[in-house]
Homo-oligomer: A and B are copies of this chain.
Amino acid sequence: MAEEGTLESPGSSRVTDDACRDDRDPFQWDSREDCDVRQILDRIADKWSLLVISLLEERTMRFNELRREIDGISQRMLSVTLRHLERDGLVQRTIYPEVPPRVEYRLTPLACTLLGTIQSLVHWTEEHQEEIARARAEFDRSAGA
């Protein structure tokens, strides 16, 4: 059984409710667990989603193609991740009725609006990895000594 489960109904939590903006500062985003923002953020920032989106940015890809490109991902997790992204409207799945079967994945326009941000994130990481490595070494030396 897929651990998909049925999430709550679409209209269950809308930020526009006054109940959602009671004790929060206006400049701060709603951080409650049941809020949409948290759920979506957890989804796109999970272990594999960023990787998949980054790869699909460049071109349409097939299942095993993605599998080969993403080091360490299992068949199951790629399947689950793609399904999640498809459900969120970020990835479009196209089945070509051929033999052998061919399925291609591509980013939706919605996902394309997210690409810039993801690039920034990856870019930041690449640029500061040494700085972070140094901070870690420093921390470990101070605390672990």
Chain A's interface size range is 35 or more
Known: A28-B54, A28-B58. A36 touches B133 (CB 8 A): yes
Tell me how many chains of this kind the complex includes: 2
| A76 on interface, CB distance cutoff 8 Å | no
Measured CA separation A113–B134 after assembly (Å): 17
Report yes or no: A15 in contact with B120, Cβ–Cβ below 8 A: no
Report yes or no: B88 in contact with A136, Cβ–Cβ below 8 A: yes
Known: A33-B71, A88-B132, A89-B136. A121 touches B54 (CB 8 A): no
Report yes or no: B42 in contact with A47, Cβ–Cβ below 8 A: yes
Report yes or no: B132 in contact with A15, Cβ–Cβ below 8 A: no
Closest to A128 in B: B110
